[in-house]
Amino acid sequence: MGKQVDVVVAGGGGFIGGHLVGALLEEGLTVRAVDIKPRHAWHQLHEAAENVTADLSLLEHARAAVRGARQVYMLAADMGGMGFIENNKAACMLSVLISTHMLKAAHEEGVERYFYSSSACVYAAGKQTDPDVTALREEDAYPAQAEDGYGWEKLFSERMCRHFTEDYGLVTRVARYHNVYGPHGTWTGGREKAPAAVCRKVAEAALSGDHRIEIWGDGRQTRSFMYIDDCLHGTRMIMDGDSGVPVNLGSSELVSINQLVDLVEQIAGIRCERRYRLDAPQGVRGRNSDNTLIRELYGWEPSIPLIDGLERTYAWVYDQVKRAHQ
């Protein structure tokens, strides 16, 4: 570490980070990917990058990680889907050490541009109580009533970006990701989100012949899901853009969880018997992304249809399930 690189991807061993490292390398940039996990556990390992294992919650590691870099994409966090964030609030909030030390290190080491991956979980719970939801606009984060634990850390950390810009002149960019899915994501183990979890359950049903699957909640809660390619395009665009205000980066194609299951069943060519678990973690009742601001700023918004992204995701998850059962 310490040599000159164009870009550092913090959390490069994770789902979005792994895809982002690949995209940046394809553009011809030099990349340092940093993650706390040992390299064999990374979602994707790109040999052309400098791949480093380090704990970015430690200031010295954060300093070493960003040294010599022009730009930093800060994607590192201890996070997951509802099954994880509802039961690990302290761990989620401790990501503030990564966020804080990475910002401080980026400022001290003279980084030119800093991207922070915030979340739709910053939005006020009171605005997400109905499945027939009004899409969330950026100003709906305040007055603050974020998702307990994880959402508060994200809201605090995105605000810290603003103050590092105002007080120290560090150029920061913030995207509020709405539920991102795609191949090479977490699909099992407890941190997986609904798209990967549903793909896994339907794939297991298809392979085993036992078509009973478990769905968390009553299936009527709603979400929008953004395919990874849209996430990458938007992330690069926001990083290179002129606006430092937090902006939604999410699909506005609203579906219920039942509709998500319908689509995956359609792709798999099977029908499943659904058992609804009302005691499982459910999060907000309805959530969608209002894309007015991203359209105004960049003339673009995520647009890959859910069915298209799910086809690619299901094929990948199906292969993982098959391999795991061999």
CA-based R_g, the chain, Å: 19
Of the candidates 189, 207, 185, the one whose C-alpha atom is nearest the C-alpha of residue 313 is 185
In the complex, minimum distance from the CB of residue 148 to ligand GDD, in angstroms, rounded to a whole number: 12
77 binds ligand NAD (CB under 6 A): yes
**CA end-to-end span of the chain, whole Å?**
40
Return the number of the residue (42 or 187) whose C-beta is nearest ligand GDD.
187
> Which of ligand GDD, ligand NAD, none has residue 117 at its interface (CB below 5 to 8 Å by kind)?
ligand NAD
Give how far the C-alpha of residue 294 lies from the chain's centroid of Cα atoms, to the nearest Å. Answer: 17
Question: DSSP string spanning 264-317?
Answer: HHHHHT---EEEEETTS----SB--B--HHHHHHHS------HHHHHHHHHHHH
Separation CA 275–CA 253 (nearest Å): 25
DSSP annotation of 3: S
> Which of ligand GDD, ligand NAD, none has residue 16 at its interface (CB below 5 to 8 Å by kind)?
ligand NAD
Return the number of the residue (111 or 272) whose C-beta is nearest ligand NAD.
111
Q: Residues in contact with ligand NAD, total (CB under 6 A)?
A: 25
* Size of the chain, expressed as the number of residues it contains: 326
Question: Could you list the residues that contact ligand GDD (CB under 6 A)?
Answer: 79, 81-83, 85, 119-121, 150, 177-179, 192-194, 197, 215-217, 221, 223, 257, 280-283
Active site residue 150: yes
Instruction: State the residue number with the nearest CB to ligand NAD.
Output: 14
Return the number of the residue (51 or 288) whose C-beta is nearest ligand GDD.
288
Site for ligand NAD in 282-321 (CB under 6 A): none
Peptide bond into 143 cis (omega under 30): yes
Q: Which one of residues 9, 16, 21, 133 is an interface residue with ligand NAD (CB under 6 A)?
A: 16
Of the candidates 10, 92, 5, the one whose C-alpha atom is nearest the C-alpha of residue 54 is 10
Q: Phi/psi at 28 (nearest 5 deg)?
A: 90, 10
119 binds ligand NAD (CB under 6 A): yes
Site for ligand NAD in 20-49 (CB under 6 A): 35-37
Candidates 73, 116, 123, 150; catalytic one: 150
Site for ligand NAD in 176-235 (CB under 6 A): 177, 179-180, 186, 193
Question: DSSP string spanning 4-63?
Answer: -EEEEEETTTSHHHHHHHHHHHHTT--EEEEESS-GGG-S---TTSEEEE--TTSHHHHH
Return the number of the residue (101 or 127) whose C-beta is nearest ligand NAD.
101
- Which residues make up the interface to ligand NAD (CB under 6 A)? 11, 13-17, 35-37, 55-57, 75-79, 98, 117, 119, 177, 179-180, 186, 193
Residues identified as active-site: 150
